[in-house]
Amino acid sequence: MAGGTRQGRIDQARGKIRELEGRLLKLEGQLKVLQGQTRQARGQARVRLARLEKTAASQVARVQAALGLSTERITDVLHTGRRRVEKLMRSVEPTLQKSLAQGRDLARASAVEARLLSRGLRAGVKAGREAFRRSRRA
Number of domains in the chain: 1
Alpha helices in the chain, H assignment, sequence order: 2-40, 43-137
Mean pLDDT in the chain?
84
Given this model, what pLDDT does residue 113 score? Answer: 92
Per-residue model confidence as pLDDT tens digits over 28-39? 888 788 778 877
Q: pTM here?
A: 0.45
For the cut 50, the answer to whether the pLDDT of residue 1 exceeds it is no
- Longest pairwise C-alpha distance within the chain: 133
- Give the model's confidence band at 4: pLDDT under 50 very low, under 70 low, under 90 confident, else very high: low
Domain that holds residue 62: 2-137
Residues in the chain: 138
Question: What is the distance between the alpha carbons of residues 16 and 83, in angstroms, rounded to a whole number?
Answer: 25
Residue 21's nearest CA partner among 71, 67, 70, 62 is 67
